[in-house]
Amino acid sequence: MKITAVTPYTVGDVRNFFFVLVETDEGISGIGEGGLTWQEPATRGFVETLTPLITGQDPFRTEHLWQLMFRGGFFPAGRVGCAAISAIDIALWDIKAKALGVPLYQLLGGQVRDRVACYPHVVGNSSSELVEDARAKQAAGWKFARFNLREEPHGAIFEPSAAIRRCVEDFAALRADIGEELELIVDVHTRLDPADAISLCRRLEPYRPYFVEDPLRMENFDSFRKLARHVHLPLAAGEQYASKWEFRQQIEEDLIDYARADICIVGGITETLKVAGWCETHSIQMALHNPLGPVATAACLHLDLSVSNFGVQELARVPGSVLSELFPQQVPFEEGNLLPPTTPGLGVEFNPQALAAYPPISDGRTPRFSRADGSFTNW
C-alpha cells in the first residue's frame, strides 16, 4: 500500500475546522484534523510542503513518517508544522485500522475502559447563568463541567483582580446550588501571571476544583515551578504544546497533575502516545484538549479508551452537533460519555460531496482581549 494523495480542507460551521484526507493506491483513505485555530492557511501550506515527502510511502510506517515530517526539513517543526503533522498522522492511523478491519483503539493496546467521561463547556455572563447551565448539564447526565475565568461584563476587557473575584463568586454559587456531585473545572486560558494565579488558586481551595487549567502563559515553563510551590490544587496545562519536548519539564518535575495535550497540535496519535506513557511514570492523568471537530473527538476517544492514565475528556461539541453532512457518521455519545466505536478506523465517515455546504469563515480570527488601559492580553 502506498500514499497517493494528501488533500487539506478548511471548512466553516460554528468556526473554521481544518482536515486532511490521505488516500492510497488500494482505495483506503484516512481523515485527520489539525488544531491550530485561526491559522488554517499556514497549516495548509505546511501540509503542502510535507506532501512530496510522504507521497509514495507506506502509510503503515507511522513512526518513520512522523520522524520524516518533523525533521525532514532540517529545522524541527514548530507549532504550525506540528499541527500539519498531527492531521496527517491521525489520517495514517485511520488508514492502518481500516486496512486491518478493526477500530483504531485495538492498535493502541485495546480497551482499558468501557466509556470515556467528558466535560462540556458551561457558559454564562453571571454566576446565576453559570449555575443554570451547569444544572442543565448535570440533568443531562454530565458528571463534569468547565467554565472560563470571565472577562468584564461590558466588553472584551480582562482585569485579573476583578476576574479572580468573579471566579471565586462563581465557584461559591455553583457549590451552593449543585453541591459536590458535579466536578468543576476552571479554564484560566493563560491569562494570569504567577502572583495572580497563586492568589486565584489559594482562594479556590475550599471549593475543590477538579483542576485549574492553564493558569499561566506557556512561554516560560519555569514559571510553573513557582506556582506549584505555593498552591495545593490540581493543575493542568499543555493545550498549546507542540511536541513531547515541551511537556518535558512539567512532567519530569511533577509540576502538573493533568496533561492537556491537544492530539491535533502536539503531533497526532504517534506523539500523544509518547506523552501519555511519559505521564504515566509520574502519575499524571491525561485530559486531552478538544475544542475541535468530529475527527479530533474520534481521535481523542480512541486514545482515551486505550491508556491507563486517563482523567477526563474535554468535549466542547457533542458528536452530531456540527458538520453533520460532512461527517454523516460520528462516534457514539451517551449522557456525558463517549462510547467505543465498532467500525474500522476512527469510526467517522467523511463525505467530500458536502464540502460546498461548509465554506470557510473568511473573517474567522481569535477574539481580542485587552486590559482597561488598552494593553493587549491573552484571550
Among 189, 232, 282, 302, the one annotated catalytic: 189
Average pLDDT, the chain: 96
Nearest to 231 by CA among 267, 253, 203: 203
Q: What is the CATH number of the domain that holds 266?
A: 3.20.20.120
Which H helix or E strand runs over 211? strand 211-213
Distance of alpha carbon 78 from the chain centroid: 17
Q: Are residues 67 and 129 in the same domain?
A: no
Instruction: Please say which residue of 64, 82, 103 terminates a domain.
Output: 103
User: In this model, does residue 287 exceed pLDDT 80?
Assistant: yes
Q: Are residues 77 and 179 in the same domain?
A: no
The residue segments making up the domain with residue 227 are 106-344
In a domain? residue 118: yes
Residue 36 to residues 124, 158, 171, 180, Cα–Cα distance (Å):
26, 23, 30, 35
Q: What is the pTM of this model?
A: 0.97
- Report the pLDDT value the prediction gives residue 343, as an integer from 0 to 100: 97
- Report the pLDDT value the prediction gives residue 41, as an integer from 0 to 100: 95
Q: Are residues 78 and 124 in the same domain?
A: no
- Report the pLDDT value the prediction gives residue 107, as an integer from 0 to 100: 98
For 223-249, the pLDDT digits (tens) are 999 999 999 999 999 999 999 999 999
Residue-wise over 159-172: b if at least 16 C-beta within 10 A, else e? Answer: ebeebbebbbebbe
Cα 174 to Cα 194: distance, rounded to the nearest angstrom: 26
In a domain? residue 214: yes
User: In this model, does residue 40 exceed pLDDT 70?
Assistant: yes
Among 64, 230, 282, 289, the one annotated catalytic: 289
For 262-273, the pLDDT digits (tens) are 999 999 999 999
Q: What is the CATH number of the domain that holds 50?
A: 3.30.390.10
For 305-334, the pLDDT digits (tens) are 999 999 999 999 999 999 999 999 999 999
Largest CA distance in the chain: 60
In a domain? residue 304: yes
- Higher pLDDT residue, 343 or 155? 343
- Which of 163-167, 178-182, 200-204 is least confident? 178-182
Question: Can you list the alpha helix ranges (DSSP code H) found in the chain?
Answer: 40-54, 62-71, 79-100, 127-139, 160-178, 194-204, 223-230, 244-252, 268-280, 294-306
In a domain? residue 27: yes
Q: Are residues 62 and 112 in the same domain?
A: no
- Report the pLDDT value the prediction gives residue 3, as an integer from 0 to 100: 98
Q: Are residues 209 and 249 in the same domain?
A: yes
Beta bridge partners of 5: 23
- 232 tagged catalytic: no
In a domain? residue 377: no
Nearest to 265 by CA among 284, 248, 246: 246
Q: Name the domain count of the chain.
A: 2
In a domain? residue 179: yes
In a domain? residue 7: yes
- Report the pLDDT value the prediction gives residue 306, as an integer from 0 to 100: 98
244 contacts 65 by C-beta, under 8 angstroms: no
For residues 283-302, give the mean pLDDT. 98
Q: Are residues 143 and 51 in the same domain?
A: no
What's the pLDDT band for 32 if we cut at 50, 70, 90?
Answer: very high
Q: Where do we find the cell 524541527?
A: 76
For residues 107-112, give the mean pLDDT. 98
- Report the pLDDT value the prediction gives residue 42, as an integer from 0 to 100: 96
Q: Are residues 164 and 33 in the same domain?
A: no
- Report the pLDDT value the prediction gives residue 367, as an integer from 0 to 100: 82
Distance of alpha carbon 101 from the chain centroid: 27
Q: Are residues 113 and 65 in the same domain?
A: no
- Report the pLDDT value the prediction gives residue 154, as an integer from 0 to 100: 81
Q: Are residues 33 and 73 in the same domain?
A: yes
- Report the pLDDT value the prediction gives residue 379, as an integer from 0 to 100: 86
Provide CB contacts within 8 A for 90, sequence distance 6+.
Answer: 30, 31, 32, 33, 263, 264, 268, 269, 295, 299, 346
For 330-370, the pLDDT digits (tens) are 999 999 999 999 999 999 999 999 999 999 998 756 788 99
Q: Are residues 153 and 16 in the same domain?
A: no
In a domain? residue 364: no
For residues 134-152, give the mean pLDDT. 96
- 289 tagged catalytic: yes
For 52-97, the pLDDT digits (tens) are 999 999 999 999 999 999 999 999 999 999 999 999 999 999 999 9
Q: Are residues 185 and 292 in the same domain?
A: yes
Q: Are residues 72 and 136 in the same domain?
A: no
